[in-house]
């Protein structure tokens, strides 16, 4: 647009004899229009830059939230694994204590079903995996299933 005005001015100057004041006035007007054009371009670029900055901030916040959530979930899994290890350890200790007590009771009683050298060992099998297809009667999917096996030695 500016170049168009300049070409019009130069052609008018050639075609007629314009006064210097008219030429200066037109030159000033051209400079004002150029300044307005730059300002409009700069403000639209600033708006786009701010929009991009806001979008980047949203993405960063979303990423930080996801990283925090992943950290919390990993921590919770670790805590649950520790609790499961404690439960298994306590069950093994209880079973061991009950074997000792039952072995003493069996050796003291005269009606023993096993030979004197036989030891009955209780083996627990834990299954902590579950699926939506295998729920208990209450619809609880996160229960731990335990099966006892008795083995003669």
Residue 68 counted as domain residue: yes
Has residue 138 been placed in a domain? Answer: no
**Per-residue pLDDT, 84:** 93
Give residue 20's domain range: 2-130+143-152
Residue 137 falls inside a structural domain: no
**Three-state DSSP class for 121?**
strand
Q: What's the pTM?
A: 0.36
Count up the domains in the chain and report the number: 1
Looking at residue 17, its pLDDT comes to 60
pLDDT band of residue 81 (cuts 50, 70, 90) is very high
Band of pLDDT at residue 109, cut at 50, 70 and 90: low
Domain assignment present for residue 148? The answer is yes
Predicted confidence at residue 83, as pLDDT, reads 92
Cα dihedral 26/29/33/38 (nearest 10):
100
Asked whether residue 114 is assigned to any structural domain, the reply reads yes
DSSP code of residue 119? -
Burial 22-47 (b: 16+ CB within 10 A, else e): eeeebeeebeeeeeeeeeeeeeeeee
> Does any domain span residue 135?
no
Give yes or no for a contact between 26 and 2, defined as CB atoms under 8 angstroms apart. Answer: no
């Amino acid at each position: 647009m500016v170049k168009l005005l300049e070409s019009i001015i130069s052609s008018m100057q050639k075609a007629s004899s314009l006064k210097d004041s008219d030429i200066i006035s037109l030159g000033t007007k051209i400079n004002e229009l150029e300044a307005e054009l730059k300002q409009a371009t700069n403000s639209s670029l600033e708006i786009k830059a701010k929009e991009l900055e806001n979008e980047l901030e949203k993405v960063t916040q979303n990423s930080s939230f996801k990283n925090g959530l992943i950290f919390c979930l990993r921590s919770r899994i670790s805590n649950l694994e520790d609790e499961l290890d404690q439960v298994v350890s306590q069950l093994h200790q209880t079973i061991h204590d009950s074997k000792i007590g039952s072995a003493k009771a069996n050796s003291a009683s005269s009606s023993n079903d096993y030979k004197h050298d036989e030891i009955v060992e209780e083996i627990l099998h834990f299954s902590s995996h579950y699926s939506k297809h295998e729920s208990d009667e209450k619809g609880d999917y996160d229960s731990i299933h335990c099966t006892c096996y008795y083995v003669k030695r």
